[in-house]
Amino acid sequence: MRRILPLLLSLVLLLSGCGRRADTPPDPAPPAGTEEPAPVPPAADLPLELDILRIEITRAGLSPDRLMEAVRTLPELLRSVLAKNSIAADAVQVTIGSSPAATVQALNAGTVDIAILPAEGFAGQETEAEVLLASGPAAGDSPLWLDVNWGFSTTLWTAPTDYGLNLAGRMGKEGDLPAWEELNRARWGLLDRESLPGRRAVDLWLADHYEGNTTANLSNVTVYPDFEALLSAAEAGEVDVFPWDAGPEEGPSQMSSALLGETERFYDMVLAVSPRQEKLSVPELNLRDPLMFTLTQLCFYDGTQTNADGTPLFSGKGYDRETRTLCQDVFGSCRYGWAESEDLDAARRLLALEGHTAQ
């Protein structure tokens, strides 16, 4: 599902991601002595043509002024960039959902075609809407043409304290985890209860490995304001175990820390298609690429970024800071990549652990 984006995205933008499936047999050669007719591209190679494309975004804490600006600015902006990506719509309608539940309800009813909303808000709803894209901070400052693992996970580390080193030694050659009693005796550093990477993801990891126990069952927890403060506390010997908001390859290796475990992967935002609009999610059409390129271009392309070979990343000029900031406010500040509904299973399990039922 995830792969390196084509290096020549400008060519992709002309041809779109809506090409013929790889398992489609080649057209037969014309009989000898006959004139070959002009090629007619199959339907899937033609731009998707719509009378109207209805997109809903969730309010997500935006001010009324910002929401009005989005409703006023985004329809024509989206229509223009989508057209470059072979999605031709006579009109694009942008509406604001009052909550993730309201937006998913509109998706289910088919009153909107596409919704862009927080991943956790989507995961907490009952729906057959298909997820096409998801965003996450893992992309970081990597080149825009590079496809990366879009979600984010938290790693758990032992600090170089006497007890932290003791815990690391008890993990064994096979990576066996310490017993709950041993973890419970450790001094834990965590972020506040609302933090997904700094607390809630750790809850799910503990519950999976220790018979439903979570950070609420730990005896010695100190709360820190951010990950940098956590790292400083570990370096100072104030905590024995702490989370870090990056993968194992980016962990606090400058200390004599040992990797205790890694949480499941979570996402920031998702783009989903209404189950009443199956024509928009059929594999042959492959709208994932055009939609992903559109969001990347609107949110991050300033006209200077290039492909790996130095060619322009997208055709045409980039977008000014004001436009990119508006799009990031609406669509999220992280880049999008291919995703499926199953990628949100960790979020669903976390919500169930916390006592939330799907609405």
pLDDT tens by residue, 44-64: 444 688 899 999 999 878 898
* Dihedral Cα 260, 269, 335, 151, nearest 10 deg: 20
* CA distance linking residue 156 with residue 359, whole number of Å: 32
- Collapse the DSSP code of 340 into the 3-class scheme (helix H, G, I; strand E, B; otherwise coil) and give the result: coil
| Residue 50: its H or E element | strand 48-58
- Intrachain domains 9-14+48-139+267-353 and 155-262 with the same fold: yes
- Collapse the DSSP code of 163 into the 3-class scheme (helix H, G, I; strand E, B; otherwise coil) and give the result: helix
Per-residue pLDDT, 61 = 82
Q: What is the pTM of this model?
A: 0.81
Q: Which of 1-10, 13-22, 261-270 has the lowest mean pLDDT?
A: 13-22
Q: Which of 171-175, 275-279, 345-349 has the lowest mean pLDDT?
A: 171-175
Per DSSP, 200 falls in state: I
Angle among Cα 173, 177, 179 to the nearest 5 degrees reads 130
Per-residue pLDDT, 149 = 60
> What are the residue ranges spanned by the domains of the chain?
9-14+48-139+267-353, 155-262
What value does the mean pLDDT of the chain take? Answer: 83
- CATH number for 155-262 (one of 3.40.190.10, 3.40.50.11540, 3.30.43.10, 3.40.50.300): it is 3.40.190.10
Asked if 135 contacts 335 with a C-beta cutoff of 8 angstroms, the reply is yes
What single string gives the DSSP state of each residue in 254-316?
Answer: TSS-EEEEEPPPB-SEEEEE-TT-GGGT-TTT--HHHHHHHHHHHHH--S--B-TTSSBSSSS
Helix ranges (DSSP H) in 124-279? 162-170, 180-185, 201-209, 227-235
Q: What is the CATH number of domain 9-14+48-139+267-353?
A: 3.40.190.180
